[in-house]
Amino acid sequence: MFSRKRTAAFALPLLVLAAACGKDNTSTGSTAAQPAALAPSATEVPAPIPAPAVPEKPVQKVEIQIASVANEMAFDKTALAVPAGAEVHLVLKNNATMSTLPHNWVLVKEGTEATVAAAGLKRGDKAGYVDVMDRDMLAFTPLAKPGETTEVTFSAPTEAGKYPYVCTMPGHYMMMKGVLTVTP
Ligand SMILES: [Cu+2]
């Protein structure tokens, strides 16, 4: 009984307070109506023209010329860069004069240079020292004999990152290498 009375005593001032607040709200409500009066002028502002649908990014085409260095087991370029997903046309010129130095250009997933070269070695000379079933191999040219040119067209990886390239002629991959950087 006693506690109920106390609750009622507290409730009364709260009600008064709430009423006062309500009054305040109505007065601020009328001032809040002012911006609404400006609304007609706001409608005069032309509606923003919807942006045209963004067309699919056209595939970028990249031309790369690379060569071997004289009778060395080396590429003249050890760093290449292409945008992700670009259509790449790579031409490899074999500048060697020694008949024992055919070369190729093989793009691989990072860290797979040795296994890709080993798989290529197993396939042998007739296969151009590449195993076409090797999923770590991302692109490759046929072998180019000394003085010859070979080429390949491929889609660059869609994932930005570093992709090593090597020559998979037996014994070459450890020295004849470089890194293709795929930019976003
Ligand atoms: Cu080579």
CA distance 135 to 129: 15
Rounded to whole angstroms, the Cα distance separating 166 from 178 reads 7
> Do residues 102 and 170 make contact, with C-beta atoms less than 8 angstroms apart?
no
Give 175 Cα–ligand 1 centroid separation in angstroms. Answer: 9
Give residue 49 CA to ligand 1 midpoint distance, Å.
58
Contact 96, 71 (CB under 8 A): yes
As a whole number of angstroms, the distance between CA 156 and CA 47 comes to 42
For ligand 1, the distance from its centroid to the CA atom of residue 104, given in whole angstroms, is 6
Instruction: Return per-residue pLDDT of the chain as tens, 184 residues.
Output: 444 444 444 444 444 444 444 444 444 444 444 444 444 555 567 777 777 777 777 899 999 999 999 999 999 999 999 999 999 999 999 999 999 999 999 999 999 999 999 999 999 999 999 999 999 999 999 999 999 999 999 999 999 999 999 999 999 999 999 999 999 9
Tokens matching residue 51: 């942006």
The whole model's pTM is what? Answer: 0.71
Rounded to the nearest angstrom, the gap between the alpha carbon of residue 99 and the centroid of all alpha carbons in its chain is 40
Cα 102 to ligand 1 centre (Å): 6
If phi > 0 it is left, if psi is from -120 to 50 it is alpha, else beta; for residue 182 that is beta
Question: With contact defined as beta carbons under 8 Å apart, do 179 and 165 qualify?
Answer: yes
CA of 141 to the centre of ligand 1 (A): 12
Report CA(174)–ligand 1 centroid distance (Å): 10
